Amino acid sequence: MKLLLGLIGIFILSGCTGSKEEQKVLDNYESYFKNHLQTKYERSFEIKKISKGAKYLGGPILVSAEMFPSDEEELIFSVSAAVESEMELTENYLANKWKREADELVQNQMKTIFNNDVWYEFSFSVKKDLLNQEIIDKQEQKLSYALKEYNDQIFPYIQIVDIEKNVDSAKKLTELYDFISFLHESNLQNTGISLETYSTDFKDKIKANPRKFLELGYTDRVYYQQDGTIIFSFSLQDSDTALIKSKDDLLHIYKLNQ
């Protein structure tokens, strides 16, 4: 019995020692993360949570953290470092910052142009190499600077679902063109766009000339609803969006004037 109690005591003590060592490692990384980011961005940061472990069985041991700027708690981003790589870290602070700011711009325009009649989802990705600089000064951290100088390394994308029925296509096209004009003015012209919208016009076109409708290649972008309305779906690649300078350009790309 004494032997058993002794073994249990040793196990508990070793567990406590291990926990202290683990916490010491996390404390060191927490300090490293904060100091590295403060040096890189000239801004102080806080840790929301931090942990150590492998993402998958047999994978490298990572110390990962969720962090935020000291004066902007809502801006959460991730930081991680592989223990074996002598604290070389990866982080997405600027990508999340720019995405948040661009999302606010888009949100305001969606309300103004589409009058809350659409559902949308906005994404914003950044090439990894863009974020690998050791020092990024405050001017370079601005979204306006990034969109102007790094436009070919930033990839915004928006998916729009128009839920408003019984509105003619001309109005919908005008709304889309107004939104694209906003993207150009904001240096977001390389935004990819996916749009799904109700259409009564295409229902009439199919009845009037089914063969012509098929020739125009709409079969992969049109499908029926149970109530007899038709959903028209198309995508604008970033190169398409950038080239659109007028409503005629939009019409030409999708042959809506046929």
At residue 2, the pLDDT reads: 54
Q: What is the pLDDT of residue 205?
A: 61
All domains of the chain in start order, with CATH: 2-91 (3.10.450), 95-254 (no CATH)
As beta bridge partners, residue 184 has none
Averaged pLDDT in 10-residue chunks for the chain of 258 residues: 50 56 89 94 95 81 94 95 78 93 92 84 86 83 90 88 69 86 91 76 60 50 51 72 84 56
The CA distances from residue 123 to 73, 77, 218, 227, 248, in Å, are 21, 15, 27, 32, 27
| pLDDT given at position 118 | 82
Amino acid at 68: F
Other beta carbons less than 10 A from residue 29's beta carbon: 23
pLDDT value of residue 7: 45
Q: What pLDDT does 237 receive?
A: 77
DSSP-derived pairing of the beta strands 230-236 and 222-224: antiparallel
83-113 as b/e: b if 16+ CB within 10 A: eeeeeebebbbbbbbbbbbbeeebeebbeeb
For the entire predicted model, the pTM comes to 0.74
